[in-house]
Amino acid sequence: MNFIVRFSVFAMLCLACFLEAKAAALPETSFEEVTDKLDKNGTMFIYFSPDSSFKLISEHFKLFRRMVADKEDFKPEDKKAADEIFEFISILTDSSGVPSIDGIGLSSVQTGKKMFRGRLYLHKREESGPGMIWSVLNESPQTFYMTGVMPADTVYAAGWFFQPRVFWKWLEDSAMQSKSEKVQQALGSIRKSFETKEISWDNFLDCFEGEFDLLLIADNRRKHPVKTGLKTIELEQFDFAMVCVVKDDTVFKALKRGLNYVQPPVGGEKHPERVEIPFSHPDLPWLKPVIVQEGNRLFLASNIETVERLLKPAELLKNTEEFKSLADNIPARGNSFEYLSPRLVRILITAFKQTNESPSRRELAESIEHNFAIGFFGVCQVTEDGFISTFNTTSDPAALLAAKTVLLPAALNAGMMFPMFNNIVEKNHRDACAERLKELGFVLKMYAMNNQDHFPEADGAKMIDELVQKGLLKDRSKFCCPSGKPYAYIGGYMETSNKDIPLLFDFPGTHGGNFVNIFFLDGRVQGFEMHINSCVELISFLHRQFNYPPELYKQLLEKAAQLDAGK
């Protein structure tokens, strides 16, 4: 018995010494520093030390670098260039400040019926240097201009107090340290492109004073018809604006010179000087991009009306109940902010529903709308020992995180299956397309039999009217590929013309941009694998196959150009 007692005491002492030695060997973490910044007793409380993850990523990066260096089919100069780029990436990473992060924390507490406050904290080691991510943002939190002028129908906005000069110096210093000629040439080409326009790249960077803002507005009072395939849907007018603070007009003049813009004379009332960017789209008539400088703010916006709304704000987002609840107890000053309205997802889902009649797709859309149409507003602040982001959201971050944990593997599996599924769907489209072309070709042959062997004269879709008038075609939608895109038709030929003339075919891009079905004059339907972007390129491709007579080739090119112009 005494032996057993003595042995037990000895064993306990050994165990105690082992545990003490092991405890002493365990690395210290930033758990206390990080969790002290988080909200306790909520729906989520997470601490994560990224050291092991960073180490794993670093080891795999080195392994991949060695694999490239060992490839026997690489030329010595290619290996040298690849190794320099790897070194550049390595230096960028080491000096970015990311490796100095030694703790990440995330918490969430419910503050109302459908409101949650979250905190995300990134802690950095005391002995670590500044790092790019810690110095590229302005040192102290500041008041945001944009949050005070955002229109009430804003659906997304983000802002940063960003220093381009710091970011550019980080890239140049890293390129110099890596001694990568490729990277230095790429950076040098940017400088050179400015110098060719007699613009100082250094003055351009120094002109920015910090605040950059991005804004997306969905005006539900203005809706426009937008064509999507065979359907036309009603969509809110989307406007955008990028706004930055500048010291003077250096950036504006540089952009004006870069676009070779000449200011038209403006009479009467004085307007801010602007640069109008050429853009035209029949479905987006309100998009008339402009660059405007007013005072110390430079605007790149979808149209001049959007600029005027920001310069002379009326109905403001900050006065709406939705934004007030999202901004409750969120810091007014920071280094960056982000806002998201649940309207954005709802608008996109509504558009998706209008273009899809499949019950399963509509059910999926409704599920996405229910779970992900959330409101969000958060402000990030740089502190002496890291970043802290405080945000309010209308959905529990814990639930969203759990959903992502479940959905991400499913999405990856689906992502691997989609190519196979898409290949099957595309093959079915191609086969159905070929059958439809045969049907339409038969109709064209019937037309020729009744019109002294002449096919319809009118090119393109105008030919449909003639077929309908003669009762040969009842359903106009038959003149479209099953994928929903219309066919192209080349008219004016006879049954006795060259048998290799493409009478009817897919517009390039119908089948993913790499396949075209063609109905030829002799009645055959043939599919071709090709990478083309226009009907003219299609005729050139066929000419290489069939060697058309010069006069016929010239006619086909002219008709193809007309089809491209009227597409």
Contact of 118 with 383, CB cutoff 8 Å: no
Q: How many helices (H) and strands (E) does the chain have?
A: 17, 18
Q: Which residues contact 400 (CB under 8 A, 6 or more apart)?
A: 374
Q: Do 62 and 178 lie in a common domain? A: yes
Residue 14 lies in a domain: no
Task: Using only the alpha carbons of the chain, give its radius of gyration.
Answer: 32
With b for 16 or more beta-carbon neighbours within 10 A and e for fewer, the 64-98 pattern comes to ebeeeeeeeeeeeeeeebbebbbbbbbbbbbbbbb
Question: N- to C-terminal Cα distance for the chain?
Answer: 99
Q: Are residues 497 and 560 in the same domain?
A: yes
Of 68-77, 163-172, 386-395, 426-435, give the lowest mean pLDDT range: 68-77
What pTM, to 2 d.p., does this model score?
Answer: 0.67
Q: What is the pLDDT of residues 428-447, one digit of tens each?
A: 778 888 888 888 888 888 88
Contacts with 101 (C-beta within 8 Å, 6 or more apart), sequence order: 50, 122, 123, 124, 386
Between the alpha carbon of residue 56 and those of residues 122, 146, 476, the distances in Å are 19, 40, 60
Residue 400 belongs to some domain of the structure: no
316 in a structural domain:
yes
Q: Are residues 52 and 201 in the same domain?
A: yes
Least confident of 219-228, 489-498, 548-557: 219-228
How much is the pLDDT for 153?
Answer: 93
Q: What is the pLDDT of residues 235-290, one digit of tens each?
A: 889 999 999 999 998 889 888 887 766 665 555 445 567 888 887 777 788 889 99
Nearest to 489 by CA among 460, 467, 519: 460
Range of lowest pLDDT (212-226, 252-266, 409-423, 521-535) = 409-423
CA 125 – CA 362 distance, rounded (Å): 49
Query: Is 70 exceeded by the pLDDT of residue 198?
Result: yes
* 115 — pLDDT class (breaks 50, 70, 90): very high
Is 28 contained in some domain? Answer: no
Domain membership of residue 412 (yes or no) is no
**How much is the pLDDT for 20?**
46
Higher-confidence residue of 212 and 262: namely 212
Count CB-CB contacts under 10 A for residue 391: 21
Confidence of residue 2 (pLDDT cuts 50, 70, 90): very low
Is there a single domain that holds both residue 220 and residue 350?
A: yes
Specify whether the backbone of 165 is left (phi greater than 0), alpha (psi in -120 to 50) or beta.
Answer: alpha
Structure confidence at residue 349 (pLDDT): 84
pLDDT at 464: 79
Query: Is 10 domain-assigned?
Result: no
Residue 160 located in a structural domain: yes
**Tell me, what's the pLDDT at 280?**
74
Asked if 311 and 451 sit in the same domain, the reply is no
Give the per-residue pLDDT at 466: 79
Give 3-state DSSP helix, strand, coil % of the chain, rounded to 5: 45, 25, 30
Say whether both 148 and 291 belong to one domain.
yes
Q: Distance from CA of residue 544 to its chain's centroid?
A: 38
Clarify whether residues 144 and 107 are in a common domain. yes
**pLDDT for the residue 403:** 55
Residue 476 has pLDDT above 90, yes or no: no
pLDDT band (50, 70, 90) for residue 84: confident
Q: How confident is the model at residue 357 (pLDDT cuts 50, 70, 90)?
A: low
Identify whether the C-beta of residue 159 lies closer than 8 Å to the C-beta of residue 212.
yes
- Looking at the chain, the whole-number percentage of residues with pLDDT higher than 90 is 29
Structural domain containing residue 346: 33-262+272-395
Q: Give the pLDDT confidence score for residue 469 in this predicted structure.
A: 79
Mean pLDDT (the chain, rounded): 81
pLDDT band for position 23 (cuts 50, 70, 90) = very low
Is residue 442 domain-shared with residue 372, that is, in the same domain?
Answer: no
Strand 487-489 relative to strand 208-228, pairing: unpaired
pLDDT at 7: 42
Contact present, 444 and 503 (Cβ < 8 Å): yes
Per-residue pLDDT reduced to its tens digit, 47-67: 988 888 778 788 877 888 788
**Does 16 score more than 70 pLDDT?**
no
Of 379, 395, 411, which residue is a domain's last?
A: 395
State the average pLDDT over residues 459-483: 76
- DSSP characters for 222-240? EEEEEEETTEEEEEEEEEE
Domain presence at residue 214: yes
Which alpha helices (H) appear in 396-546, and where do they start and end? 397-449, 462-469, 535-546
Tell whether 389 and 441 lie within a shared domain.
no
Query: Quick one: 372 and 482 in the same domain?
Result: no
Are both 372 and 505 inside the same structural domain?
Answer: no
Nearest of 90, 68, 91, 96 to residue 80 by alpha carbon: 68
Q: Structurally, how many domains does the chain consist of? A: 2
Summarised one tens digit per residue, pLDDT across range 387-426 is 899 999 998 887 766 555 554 455 445 444 445 545 555 6
pLDDT higher than 80, residue 183: yes
Question: Within this chain, do residues 449 and 347 fall inside the same structural domain, yes or no?
Answer: no
